[in-house]
Amino acid sequence: MSIFGATGSIGQNTIDLIARDPDAYDVVALTGASNIDRLAKDAKQLKADVAVTADPMRLEDLRAALSGSGVEAAAGHDAMIEAAQRPTDWVMSAIVGAAGLQPGICALEQGATLALANKESLVCAGALILATAKQHDARLLPVDSEHSAVFQALVGEDMGSVERIILTASGGAFRDWPLEDLAQATLAQASSHPNWDMGQRITIDSASMFNKALELIETREYFEVSPKQIEVLVHPESMIHALVGFNDGALMAHVGPPDMRHAIGYALNWPTRRALPVERLDLAAIGALTFRAPDEERWPALRLAREVMERGGLAGAVFNAAKETALDGFIDGHLGFTRMAEVVDEVLNTSDPSHIDAQMTLDNVQAADHMARQVAKNIIEQTAG
Ligand code: NAD
Ligand code: MG
């Protein structure tokens, strides 16, 4: 197996599971970016063939940290791609952002089973990912908790009897804030999630609902359902991860503690189930689960996702790149919290349509991504200036 984004939240949860039974896994590649100590420590412990940092400036640090261990050190984009092309049976795709797309495609081209935490791959290039998997007889397994939940609710079912898919959302950090306070939300406030412990970027995306917006598109691409069949339901307790509604009126819900090791473990052990070190829910102690409709005024990202699905083509790549750039702007202090959605909206409305209508190839997706980042940066600079 290989783990792309091994040093992040999903990567570390994956390592937590495999490190309990290290002899069961032959680890080929681990990749990371700036956290060299963690990358080297895990690569040595798991006896990986190669450890790769995305940052070429850190090669010497990584070499030094791995010296004498027998683990090869490599750095930079090309090294990342070379590592992703090394044949292996199972790959965790857990890089954050569109940077995860190309390594994932490389893994599929080797016929590996791709456990996909990197939802951006499906948002930017769903049709390409699915076609690549098909062409190379590779399997794609969802790791996003909602999508793993839907996948599990669909075992043994016929997609023709599915009426709707309901994704739950905790509502993030600002679920109960007065609307007029949102524009002033700080980075620290947006970086704290009520239920899940995740990387900073997805935590902020949960507060803005851009995470759920990406997941709407991810659902459409992965399960090949129409946008009208996908609903969002705010569920503050984060115990039900998703529901599937069938044509006989039945709803199948997936219930579990908010712990990503469940979805990761399901993808790791699929098609079987194995015991996992996650909490067993005491529903009597929990007492009640609550639900509410999503408020599109509070979370304009949801409306934007619907527009992107309607538009089709490479609109998802533009949307994601604009969102990543707006998020950088918020993290760097150049953009207020509510401005993120406004910037993304503006990028979608002012982008050269030829990018969105281009054929879905990796080159065209990367060109659309690049263009959208540039447009978003210009908008942010004008605002700041
Ligand atoms: P994270 O920020 O904790 O970790 C990201 C990883 O990607 C790190 O290993 C980092 O070194 C690496 N990375 C960052 N930029 C890179 C680049 N340009 N090139 C190569 N590597 C790079 O993120 P995370 O929370 O673990 O999320 C990873 C992915 O999983 C995201 O797509 C996220 O949406 C998805 N996801 C995460 C969770 C969660 O619980 N954390 C849940 C569902 C889905
Ligand atoms: Mg999710």
Which residue, 269, 286, 303, sits at the end of a domain?
286
Q: How far is the CA of 134 from the centre of ligand 2 (A)?
A: 24
User: Would you say how long the chain is, in residues?
Assistant: 385
Cβ count within 10 A of residue 128: 23
Domain co-membership, 160 together with 135: no
Within-domain flag for 301 = no
CB of 32 sitting under 6 A from ligand 1: yes
Domain co-membership, 89 together with 12: yes
Give the angle 71-74-77 at the CA atoms, nearest 5°: 145
Q: Where are the beta strands (DSSP E) in 82-139?
A: 90-93, 113-116
CB of 206 sitting under 6 A from ligand 1: no
Per-residue pLDDT of 283-316, as tens digits, reads 999 999 999 999 989 999 999 999 999 999 999 9
CB of 142 sitting under 6 A from ligand 1: no
Within-domain flag for 38 = yes
Report residue 209's pLDDT band, with 50, 70 and 90 as the boundaries. Answer: very high
CATH at 367: 1.10.1740.10
- pLDDT at position 58 is 98
- Range 33-41, long-range pairs (CB < 8 A, 24+ positions): 33/7, 34/58, 35/7, 36/61, 36/62, 36/65, 37/65, 38/7, 38/12, 39/6, 39/7, 39/65, 40/65, 40/66, 40/69, 40/71, 41/65
Which residue, 249, 268, 286, sits at the end of a domain?
286
Per-residue pLDDT of 187-202, as tens digits, reads 999 999 989 899 999 9
Q: Is the dihedral of CA 36, 37, 38, 40 positive or negative?
A: positive
Sheet of 90-93: strands edge to edge? 72-75, 50-53, 29-32, 2-4, 90-93, 113-116, 140-142
Tell me what the mean pLDDT of segment 218-236 comes to. Answer: 98
Domain that holds residue 380: 312-384
Pocket test for ligand 1, best of 2, 4, 7, 9 (most atoms within 8 A of CB): 9
Tell me what the mean pLDDT of segment 266-283 comes to. Answer: 97
Domain co-membership, 324 together with 356: yes
CATH at 26: 3.40.50.720
Within-domain flag for 244 = yes
Domain co-membership, 248 together with 151: yes
More confident call, 383 vs 102: 102
Within-domain flag for 298 = no
- pLDDT at position 169 is 98
Report residue 134's pLDDT band, with 50, 70 and 90 as the boundaries. Answer: very high
Of 62, 50, 41, 125, the closest CA to residue 87 belongs to 50
Q: How far is the CA of 94 from the centre of ligand 1 (A)?
A: 5
Q: If residue 293 lies in a helix (H) or strand (E), which one and from where to where?
A: none
- Range 109-114, long-range pairs (CB < 8 A, 24+ positions): 109/85, 109/136, 109/138, 110/85, 110/86, 110/136, 110/138, 111/87, 111/136, 111/137, 111/138, 112/2, 112/87, 112/88, 112/138, 113/89, 113/138, 113/139, 113/140, 113/141, 114/138, 114/139, 114/140, 114/141
Per-residue pLDDT of 331-375, as tens digits, reads 999 999 999 999 999 999 999 999 999 999 999 999 999 999 999
Of 105, 59, 62, the closest CA to residue 84 belongs to 105
DSSP 210-238: HHHHHHHHHHHHHH---GGGEEEEE-TT-
Domain co-membership, 115 together with 211: no
Domain co-membership, 116 together with 155: no
Q: How far is the CA of 113 from the centre of ligand 1 (A)?
A: 19
Tell me what the mean pLDDT of segment 142-147 comes to. Answer: 98
Cβ(120)–Cβ(101) below 8 Å: yes
Within-domain flag for 277 = yes
Q: How far is the CA of 57 from the centre of ligand 2 (A)?
A: 33
Of 317, 315, 326, the closest CA to residue 377 belongs to 326
Domain co-membership, 107 together with 166: no
DSSP letter at 281?
P
Within-domain flag for 296 = no
Distance CA 8, CA 49 (A): 20
Domain co-membership, 161 together with 263: yes
DSSP 325-376: HHHHHHHTTSS-TTHHHHHHHHHHHHS-HHHHSS---HHHHHHHHHHHHHHH
Distance CA 262, CA 10 (A): 11
Percentage above 90 pLDDT, the chain:
98
State whether residue 252 is helix, strand or coil. strand
Provide the domain count of the chain: 3
CB of 5 sitting under 6 A from ligand 1: yes
Domain co-membership, 337 together with 361: yes
Across the chain, what does the average pLDDT equal?
97
pLDDT at 203 > cutoff 90: yes
Distance CA 51, CA 6 (A): 10
Cβ(341)–Cβ(301) below 8 Å: yes
Domain co-membership, 101 together with 151: no
Domain co-membership, 136 together with 11: yes
Within-domain flag for 109 = yes
Distance CA 167, CA 230 (A): 7
- pLDDT at position 384 is 75
CB of 379 sitting under 6 A from ligand 1: no
- pLDDT at position 383 is 83
pLDDT at 50 > cutoff 90: yes
Cβ(62)–Cβ(35) below 8 Å: no
- pLDDT at position 385 is 59
Within-domain flag for 215 = yes
Q: How far is the CA of 358 from the centre of ligand 2 (A)?
A: 29
Tell me what the mean pLDDT of segment 53-58 comes to. Answer: 98
State whether residue 243 is helix, strand or coil. strand
CB of 218 sitting under 6 A from ligand 1: no
Q: How far is the CA of 240 from the centre of ligand 2 (A)?
A: 12
Cβ count within 10 A of residue 54: 19
CB of 9 sitting under 6 A from ligand 1: yes
* Proximal ligand: closest to the CA of 202: 1
Q: How far is the CA of 146 from the centre of ligand 2 (A)?
A: 5
CB of 92 sitting under 6 A from ligand 1: no
Domain co-membership, 153 together with 261: yes
